[in-house]
A and B are shown apart, each in its own frame.
Chain A
Amino acid sequence: MKIEHKELIVVGAGPAGLSAAIEAAKSGVKAIVFDENSKPGGQLFKQIHKFFGSKEHKAKIRGFKIGQDLLQEAEKLGVEVVLNATVVGLYPEKEIIVKIGGEVIHYKADAVLIATGASENMVNFRGWTLPGVIGAGAAQTMMNLHHIKPGNRVFMLGTGNVGLVVSSQLLQAGCEVVALADAAPKIGGYGVHASKVARTGVPFYLSHTIKEVEGEDHVTGVTIAQVDEHFQFIPGTEKHFAVDTICVAVGLSPMAQLLKMDGIVMDDTKGRTVPKCDRTGATSIPGIYAAGDVAGIEEASSAMIEGRMSGSAIAAYLGYLSSDSSEHRVDTLENSLSSLRQGMFAPENRGKKIETTEEGIAISQNLLKAGFVTDDEITRFPGFRKEMKVHPVLECTQNIPCNPCQSACAKGCISIGEHMTSLPISVDGSTCVNCGMCVASCSGQAIFLVAEETRAGFGEVTIPYEFLPLPAEGDGGFALGRDGKKLCETTITRVRTSKAYDGTALVTMEVPTEYIDKARFYKKIG
Chain B
Amino acid sequence: MLDIQKKLKEIGPFVPEEDDDLLVCRCEEVTKGEIRKALHQGITTVEELRRFLRCGMGLCQGQTCGMITRRIVAKELKIPMGAIEPATARVPMRPIEMEIAGNEKK
Contact = CB atoms under 8 A, between A and B. Distances in A.
A36 interface: yes
A119 B100 CA distance: 25
- How many interface residues does chain A have, given as a range? 35 or more
Interface in A448-465: none
B82 A86 contact: no
A122 B27 CA distance: 14
A421 B84 CA distance: 38
Nearest to A120: B64
A148 interface: no
Interface in B58-106: 61, 63-68, 70-71, 74, 81-82, 84, 86, 88-94, 96, 99-101, 103-106
Contacts of B32: 124
B23 interface: yes
Interface in B24-45: 24, 26, 32
A122 B26 CA distance: 11
A113 B65 CA distance: 27
A269 interface: yes
Contact of B23 (A87, A124, A256, A261): A124
Nearest to B103: A103
A89 B92 contact: yes
Contacts of A253: 63, 66-67
Contacts, number: 97
B94 A36 contact: yes
A271 B91 contact: no
A352 interface: no
A128 interface: yes
Given A102-B99, A271-B71, A124 B24 contact: yes
Interface string A116-131: 0001011111101100
Nearest to B73: A271
Given A128-B23, A261-B91, A273-B86, A106 B105 contact: yes
A122 B70 CA distance: 12
A258 B89 CA distance: 7
B10 interface: no
A186 to B, nearest CB: 22
A106 B106 CA distance: 10
A135 to B, nearest CB: 9
Contacts of B11: none
B67 A121 contact: yes
B100 A255 contact: no
B102 to A, nearest CB: 8
A268 B106 contact: no
B19 interface: yes
Nearest to B97: A102
A1 B23 contact: no
Scoring A122, A124, A255 by chain B CB atoms within 10 A of each residue's CB, the highest score goes to: A124
B64 A106 contact: no
Nearest to B68: A124
A350 interface: no
A256 B63 CA distance: 10
A97 interface: yes
B90 A104 contact: no
Nearest to A91: B91
12 contacts: A36-B94, A86-B94, A88-B96, A90-B91, A99-B96, A105-B104, A126-B22, A253-B63, A253-B67, A256-B89, A268-B86, A271-B70
Interface of B: 19, 22-24, 26, 32, 61, 63-68, 70-71, 74, 81-82, 84, 86, 88-94, 96, 99-101, 103-106
Closest 3 CB pairs of A and B: A89-B91, A271-B81, A260-B89
Given A253-B67, A270-B81, 17 more contacts: A1-B106, A86-B94, A87-B93, A90-B91, A104-B96, A104-B105, A119-B63, A122-B64, A123-B68, A124-B68, A126-B19, A255-B63, A257-B89, A257-B93, A261-B90, A266-B86, A271-B67
